[in-house]
Amino acid sequence: MKKNGDKRDIDRRRKHVSHLQDISPEWKSRRVLPPANATWPTCLIVAPSSVVGNWEREFETWGYFEVGMYTGTKNERSEVLHDFKMGRLDVLLTSFETARNDIALLDDLAWSCIIVDEVHRLKNPRSGTALAYDQFACTVRFGLTGTAIQNSYSEFWTILNWTNPGMVGTKRQWDSYVTKPLGVGQSKSATEDQRSKAILVAQVLGEKLLPHLFLRRTKEIIRQQLPNKIDEVAFCPLTPKQIEVYKRILNTEAVQNMIRKDELCDCGSRKKRRKCHYSFEKGDLFRYLTVLIRVSNHLALILPSPTDSPEQTVRNRELARMAFPEGSIPKYGPAIMVPDLCGKWLVLESLLHDWHRDPTNKVLIFTKSVKLLGILEYNLQCQGLGFVKLEGSTRPQDRMPLIDRFHEDPDIFVFLISTLAGGTGLNLTGANKVVIFDPNWNPAHDLQAIDRAYRFGQTRDVEVFRLLGAGSIEELIYARQVYKQQQMQVGYNASFQTR
């Protein structure tokens, strides 16, 4: 932006616009508006709402930039937009949701470049956000992300195609030349030819295509400037009550029909059970997967709670009757304090008491379940441990004060965070312990959560504990995470991974 890097940059644009208004009657009457970037370049930055305030703070820290916050009420946004059109602003900062909703007002303005933070949010080409952002007239686009490949190589195409429209072919071409060969070649049953083709495709991708579109910087570059990270996977035994309920759900007719779907039907037809007398709804698969995950974390998660919607209350009552058929269904309130209903809490409790002996320790606890976040909050209160909490309902303007309080208040020991709401963008280097309470199918969410503490600016060794329900479906989730991380390495570096 052709800055001098000193006080000459203070209010540079506003003074320039004021001068133009003084010498031009048309400007003074506002009959003619200037081209916003006629003298200096402009930039639109779109970021998650949780970190828009962080971006503004960084601009104040690192230079003299005239920044407009395109957030708040319609009138507030209208004033900021007018300032931009008048040429008074270098940068406009906004959130994903606001940019999507106001795309008709933003798409054809005089942007020199557009930067989208956490650009992996555009991974679905048919999502409302991705379709809206495709409308930007400006094609000088940058996407920032720690995880360009999350679940599949197809998502990678969406990000590359948005930042460099038309440069990576069509979606169908990408799937044919990249997604399919790499996926087949990485599978356990791949032939030697399929493996060879996958290696060749990965090499072409990593050496010929990506260097022109994709600038990758890993922590290896600053490894000498970072402390150590100890990453532990803690297999937490389920309590006897959890095991009893878990097995009871596995033995239900619906789950058994899914588990035994490929066995021969016992009617003698020689057909598979799923094609004969034991069909099941596909929706049952995801429903019971979710139930087993909840049982692995805390049995209170399958009980009706005061915050449930009417539909959730009906479902949870049915689940509770299934889990506790003897009739003594516990109440949600008392249940969240019963140790016998959560094996992970017993492990976490011992870790917290151990860490609390050193007053310099600070802990981040991440969970993807808002209900579980509330349960942990209640237990921390009962233990007398100081904490703050950030979830999706936390207002954007309240998030930076929460972060400051966590760093500055010696009585605040724990930061409880919803993985989806606060797992990206936040700088929490005051913490040196990180707990992932429940693993996510998508490893990117957990990795980014860990990076809230283990990043540039961290001065202490960081200990990470991923809590898995031993012997439960969470072990399979973690195995899936490992596989997806291997996919990333193949796509980024053309590296050979054990299948």
| pLDDT (tens digit per residue) in 439-467 | 988 887 888 889 889 988 899 999 999 99
Residue 494's pLDDT is what?
64
**What would the pLDDT profile of 460-474 be if each residue is shown by its tens digit?**
999 999 999 999 999
Provide the 10 A C-beta neighbour count for residue 343: 25
Give the pair of three-digit tokens for residue 17: 């616009």
Instruction: With beta carbons less than 8 A apart as the criterion, state whether 39 and 67 touch.
Output: no
pTM of the model: 0.76
d(CA 256, CA 251): 6
Instruction: With beta carbons less than 8 A apart as the criterion, state whether 417 and 423 touch.
Output: yes
Beta bridge partners of 367: 418
Could you tell me the sign of the dihedral formed by the alpha carbons of 151, 154, 156, 159, in that order?
Answer: negative
d(CA 474, CA 341): 17
Residue 35's pLDDT is what?
62
Residue whose C-alpha is closest to residue 43's, from 160, 165, 141: 141
30 pLDDT exceeds 60?
Answer: no
Residue whose C-alpha is closest to residue 178's, from 151, 156, 146, 207: 156
Fold type of domain 7-216:
Rossmann fold (3.40.50)
Residue ranges of the chain assigned to CATH 3.40.50.300: 223-235+342-489
Residue 489's pLDDT is what?
76
d(CA 372, CA 344): 12
d(CA 16, CA 37): 12
**What would the pLDDT profile of 368-427 be if each residue is shown by its tens digit?**
988 999 999 999 999 999 999 998 888 877 888 999 999 999 999 999 999 887 766 688
Residue ranges of the chain assigned to CATH 3.40.50.10810: 7-216
Q: Dihedral of the CA atoms 492, 120, 418, 99 (nearest 10)?
A: 160
d(CA 122, CA 481): 21
Residue whose C-alpha is closest to residue 469's, from 294, 218, 259: 294
d(CA 11, CA 66): 7
d(CA 84, CA 78): 10
Provide the 10 A C-beta neighbour count for residue 380: 20
d(CA 261, CA 276): 10
2: left (phi > 0), else alpha (psi -120 to 50), else beta?
left
Q: Using a pLDDT cut of 70, give the percent of the chain over it.
A: 95
Tell me yes or no: is domain 223-235+342-489 CATH 3.40.50.300.
Answer: yes
Beta bridge partners of 47: 95
Residue 275's pLDDT is what?
84
Give the pair of three-digit tokens for residue 355: 């860490």
d(CA 334, CA 365): 23
**Mean pLDDT, rounded, for 351-357:** 96
173 pLDDT exceeds 90?
Answer: yes
- 421 or 72, higher pLDDT: 72
Residue whose C-alpha is closest to residue 81's, from 73, 70, 72: 70
Mean pLDDT, the chain, rounded, equals: 88
Residue 418 — φ and ψ, nearest 5°? Answer: -75, 125
